[in-house]
Amino acid sequence: MKLIPEWHEHEYCLIAWPCNHDLYGDIIFEAKREVTNIIIEIAKTEKVIVLCNEEDIIEVKNNIQANNIKILSCKLDDSWMRDIAPIFCSEDKKIKSVNFIFNGYGKYSDFQNDNKVSDFISNYFKIQSIFSDIVLEGGAITYDDNSNLFSTKNVIFNKNRKQTFSEEKILNELKTIFNLKNIFLFDNGLVEDDTDGHVDNLLCPIGNNKYLIADSNKSNLNYDILNKNKKDLIDFFNHSQQKFELISLPLPSNKKINNKNLISSYINFYFTNNKIILPKFNVKEDHEVETIFKDLFPTKEIVMIETSNINYGGGNIHCITMNVPKI
């Protein structure tokens, strides 16, 4: 099977409705408003399927008055669709999926429903699935069209994932499942990232051997980590004799909600079929990043949506979405 990069055409976008009141507290109402804005924006260009708990169906219908949207009842513990959905692939010109184990990042006790979502989605689309005993979240990996997969050691090999396989066996199984040439692993992700450092805050391949990579100034706690990440990635591409261009994206200025630091990155965005939807934090870097994206994607509309309250829960636009490729 072959992984399908996110900038390829989508058939659907999957989104889960926020439901974890313990995580968000009263912020959940603002988070739902931001998720609604994202759903409506994506639905302008591609079909959206919203998964929600049975008790939230009326709320979702009342919030989302738009075409191109389907609502499905599904038992959920949380709303990080990127991490609980299957990983979609192509084989013999058909879409297939790989369903990994989700264990709540090894930190949260309520994950049993979320661990069944990938199976629910695969069955809904009636696509053939492969089940893997590897614990892996969708936000923990990213991939290009050169058979390279990228992840983070401190996520995939973290003891809280409770992997039953050795590091070597995990990498070999991923290579086999996805027919990969290379797997590159950063050592660490962003400081205080609740996921232990998901790669979708660090790196995003965008095609034509170009890669967006998170960067920061020396005053940021992540400066040394991101500097090493960039150096290690350059070494990987040079050693494997691959063409590449790295485009730096600054991290947003530090923000807090209820005295909680937001762990934020503009890398955490979503491709639609003709738009790019970026998080907006109302900080000075917003304009700089918007300009970078407009220069990189002159044929796409660049839309920035405020997401600080989603971010309060531990993720952002990429984390709450999963693209279903069109084959």
3-class state of residue 44 by DSSP: coil
Q: Give the length of the chain.
A: 327
**Which pLDDT does position 175 carry in this prediction?**
98
Q: Which amino acid is at 244?
A: F
Cβ 31 vs Cβ 317: under 8 Å: no
Provide the edge-to-edge strand list for the sheet that holds 301-306.
Answer: 270-271, 275-280, 301-306
Beta bridge partners of 23: none
**Which pLDDT does position 80 carry in this prediction?**
98
How far is 36 from 34, CA to CA, in rounded Å?
5
Per the structure block, which two tokens stand in for 150?
A: 């990228």
| CATH number for the domain that contains residue 160 | 3.75.10.10
Cβ neighbours of residue 109 under 8 Å, at least 6 residues apart?
Answer: none
**Which pLDDT does position 6 carry in this prediction?**
97
Cβ neighbours of residue 274 under 8 Å, at least 6 residues apart?
Answer: 45, 299, 300, 301
What's the structural domain count of the chain?
A: 1
pLDDT string in tens for the chain (327-residue length): 999 999 999 999 999 999 999 999 999 999 999 999 999 999 999 999 999 999 999 999 999 987 899 999 999 999 999 999 999 999 989 999 999 999 999 999 999 999 999 999 999 999 999 999 999 999 999 999 999 999 999 999 999 999 999 999 999 999 999 999 999 999 999 999 999 999 999 999 999 999 999 999 999 999 999 999 999 999 999 999 999 999 999 999 999 999 999 999 999 999 998 999 999 999 999 999 999 999 999 999 999 999 999 999 999 999 999 999 998
**Which pLDDT does position 67 carry in this prediction?**
85
Q: How many helices (H) and strands (E) does the chain have?
A: 11, 19
How far is 56 from 61, CA to CA, in rounded Å?
9
Say how far residue 159 (Cα) sits from the centre of its chain. Answer: 22
Per the structure block, which two tokens stand in for 315?
A: 């993720």
Cβ 226 vs Cβ 249: under 8 Å: no
Which of the 8 DSSP states describes residue 253?
P
Residue 53, domain extent: 2-325
pTM over 0.95: yes
